[in-house]
Amino acid sequence: RKEVEQDPGPFNVPEGATVAFNCTYSNSASQSFFWYRQDCRKEPKLLMSVYSSGNEDGRFTAQLNRASQYISLLIRDSKLSDSATYLCVVTPSGNTPLVFGKGTRLSVIA
């Protein structure tokens, strides 16, 4: 089983739609969780951290379910500029490298 698994997509949604991505991780001792965004032919960049209580940043909401080892990202009111690949990222323990999922590709269509 891969450490971090994501649906690769692509998700093709119209502008204004709400879209949700899911991710599961295999290491129950994992400590930190993130979503990174990667634009086409660019490097990954941190989108947001994911906290146990869930957190929101504008149109983006991230949630963590430790019991199910499940992370989600919700994007409301999708914009064309949201088109990118979204990478689910986990840190197995403190000071260890991030472990990346393969990403979910989102295309927002006008």
Partner 1 sequence: DAGVIQSPRHEVTEMGQEVTLRCKPISGHDYLFWYRQTMMRGLELLIYFNNNVPIDDSGMPEDRFSAKMPNASFSTLKIQPSEPRDSAVYFCASRGWDSQETQYFGPGTRLLVL
Query: CB of 43: closest distance to partner 1 in angstroms?
Result: 4
Q: Counting contacts by CB under 8 A, is residue 11 touching partner 1?
A: no
Four-point Cα dihedral 14, 17, 18, 24, nearest 10: 0
Query: CB of 62: closest distance to partner 1 in angstroms?
Result: 15
| Window 34-93: residues binding partner 1 (CB under 8 A) | 34, 42-46, 49, 87, 91
Q: Counting contacts by CB under 8 A, is residue 98 touching partner 1?
A: yes
Q: In the set 26, 72, 74, 100, which binds partner 1 (CB under 8 A)?
A: 100
Q: Is 60 exposed, middle or buried (0-12, 13-18, 19+ CB in 10 A)?
A: middle
Tokens standing for residue 74: 């919700």
Rounded Cα–Cα distance for residues 70 and 68 (Å):
5
Say how many CA atoms lie within 13 Å of 56 toward its Cβ: 3
Q: Counting contacts by CB under 8 A, is residue 103 touching partner 1?
A: yes
Q: Counting contacts by CB under 8 A, is residue 13 touching partner 1?
A: no
Name the residues that contact partner 1, by CB under 8 A.
32, 34, 42-46, 49, 87, 91, 95, 97-103
